[in-house]
């Protein structure tokens, strides 16, 4: 159920609607102000003042007919009232008028600046959420369940780094070379929302919302980059299965999910997006391949009808494009369903060290051992997975397996 906020006139507005309005218009305003003022930190401060004012007033007054103009007016007034800088800066603010001339690349430049490789990944995520998505420091802290001063410090250091290192507010000469950094930030944001790495909650829908919005924005701004479309399709395919992922506090494995609860229209739309990007550009990449794997699962009418042979081929392709121990682990699952538990377990032997503290490695190993009739070892592997995971939904599933073994 969507949480609603009652306004002073008795009307209601969903928090989703508030989030969408802020996310869409704050990012556009931030990009325009950075472009105009040439001062990343000052523009970000102005936008955040406007966002915080909106979050106080819109739940009471309702979302204005023109949220972008409303935010612009507050930001401009705030700049004229409290910022006292060099005369050229004041003159720019004084001359700033609505509407701000739209520039297609402004938000794209803003995203690439926030995701500059000189910044740490944690700083990239925090800065992107604050500047591009318009989240406040308190909201980001709540989303990642970390102290607010920690987030504030990350953002401050990131802005200082941008200023001191002279990081320019522009697209790199070859945006494709740094697109991987941008997509990685969005992907990590989605992963944290889809299955939280904290003990306080199983998932964080607000982070998933922000990740999907950023992926959609990148796809619109960079229509010739199939990996952006691939990431958007991947997120939407996962979200389409969301209604069946949990049974109370327990995570429901894919094999047990009620597929009638999946959003099959959304699955079709996401698959079409992926197919169009692949056919048009013929430049396969890791996100497109991951989306194709999820599409294979999503399009299967039942677990028993999953095309594991195709999934195994796709994992081989993914290992070629972006080799990693986690991808090898997932490939072993596909191998299990095509060639048996024995060959799959053999594939895991040299992953003991790189994935020693990865809960899914031990949980997968437990499933393979159980299939081979090695129940005691399977229980030990499940117990190790339970020791390592902090996600409450994963814990509930593992505890159930240990109880019934």
Whole-angstrom distance, CA of residue 399 vs CA of residue 56: 43
Whole-angstrom distance, CA of residue 156 vs CA of residue 153: 5
Number of Cβ within a 10 Å radius of residue 201 = 12
pLDDT (tens digit, 9 = 90+) per residue, 114-124? 999 999 999 99
Whole-angstrom distance, CA of residue 263 vs CA of residue 245: 12
Spell out a b/e string for 86-110, using b for 16 or more CB atoms within 10 Å of the CB, else e.
eeebeebbeebeeebeeeeebbbbb
Q: How confident is the model at residue 79 (pLDDT cuts 50, 70, 90)?
A: confident
Mean pLDDT throughout 378-404?
92
Question: In this model, does residue 10 exceed pLDDT 80?
Answer: no
Which alpha helices (DSSP H) does 128-174 contain, by range? Answer: 137-144, 148-164
With a threshold of 0.85, does the pTM exceed it?
A: no
CB 206 within 8 A of CB 218: no
- Per the listing, tokens 């979200």 go with 239
Question: In this model, does residue 6 exceed pLDDT 50?
Answer: no
- Per the listing, tokens 């998505």 go with 133
Whole-angstrom distance, CA of residue 362 vs CA of residue 402: 13
Mean pLDDT (the chain, rounded): 87
- End-to-end Cα separation, the chain, in angstroms: 36
Spell out a b/e string for 316-355, using b for 16 or more CB atoms within 10 Å of the CB, else e.
ebbeeeeeeeebbbbbbbbbbbeeebeebbebbeebeeeb
When mean pLDDT is compared across 81-95, 96-110, 141-155, 374-388, the lowest value belongs to 81-95
CB 336 within 8 A of CB 344: yes
Estimate to the nearest angstrom the gap between the alpha carbon of 56 and the chain centroid.
26
Q: How confident is the model at residue 7 (pLDDT cuts 50, 70, 90)?
A: very low
Q: How confident is the model at residue 8 (pLDDT cuts 50, 70, 90)?
A: very low
Task: State the virtual CA torsion across 257, 263, 265, 266 in degrees, nearest 10.
Answer: -110
Q: How confident is the model at residue 129 (pLDDT cuts 50, 70, 90)?
A: confident
Q: Percentage of the chain surpassing pLDDT 90?
A: 55
The tokens describing 11, both together, are 């009307």
Q: How confident is the model at residue 392 (pLDDT cuts 50, 70, 90)?
A: very high
pLDDT of residue 5: 43
């Amino acid at each position: 159920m969507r949480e609603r906020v009652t306004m002073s006139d008795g009307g209601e507005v969903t928090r989703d609607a508030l989030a969408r309005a802020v996310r869409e218009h704050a990012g556009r305003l931030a990009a325009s102000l950075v472009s105009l003022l040439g001062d990343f930190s000052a523009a970000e401060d102005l936008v955040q003042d406007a966002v915080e004012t909106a979050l106080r007033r819109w739940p009471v007054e309702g979302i204005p007919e023109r949220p972008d103009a409303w935010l612009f007016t507050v930001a401009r007034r705030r700049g004229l009232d409290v910022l006292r800088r060099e005369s050229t800066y004041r003159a720019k603010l004084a001359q700033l008028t609505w509407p701000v001339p739209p520039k297609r690349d402004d938000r794209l430049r803003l995203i690439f600046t926030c995701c500059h490789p000189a910044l740490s990944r944690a700083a990239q995520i925090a800065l992107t959420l604050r500047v591009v998505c318009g989240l406040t420091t308190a909201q980001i802290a709540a989303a990642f369940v970390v102290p607010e001063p920690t987030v504030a410090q990350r953002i401050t250091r990131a802005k200082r780094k941008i200023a001191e290192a002279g990081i320019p507010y522009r697209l790199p000469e070859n945006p494709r070379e740094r697109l991987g950094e941008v997509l990685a930030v969005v992907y990590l944001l989605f992963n944290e929302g889809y299955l939280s790495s904290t003990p306080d909650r199983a998932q964080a829908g607000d982070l998933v919302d922000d990740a999907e919005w950023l992926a959609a924005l990148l796809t619109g701004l960079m229509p010739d980059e199939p990996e952006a479309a691939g990431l958007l399709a991947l997120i939407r395919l996962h979200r389409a299965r969301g209604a069946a992922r949990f049974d109370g506090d327990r995570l429901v494995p894919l094999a047990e999910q009620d597929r009638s609860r999946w959003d099959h229209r959304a699955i079709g739309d996401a698959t079409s997006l992926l197919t169009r990007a692949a056919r048009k550009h013929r430049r396969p990449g890791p996100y497109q391949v991951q989306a194709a794997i999820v599409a294979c699962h999503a399009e299967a009418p039942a677990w028993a009808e999953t095309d594991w042979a195709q999934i195994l081929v796709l994992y081989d392709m993914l290992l070629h494009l972006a080799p990693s121990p986690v991808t090898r682990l997932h490939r072993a699952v596909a191998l299990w369903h095509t060639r048996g538990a024995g060959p799959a377990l053999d594939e895991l032997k040299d992953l003991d060290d790189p994935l020693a503290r990865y809960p899914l490695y031990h949980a997968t190993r437990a499933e393979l051992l159980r299939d081979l009739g090695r129940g005691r070892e399977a229980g030990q592997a499940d117990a190790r997975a339970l020791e390592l995971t902090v996600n409450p939904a994963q814990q509930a599933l593992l505890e159930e397996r240990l109880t019934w073994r």
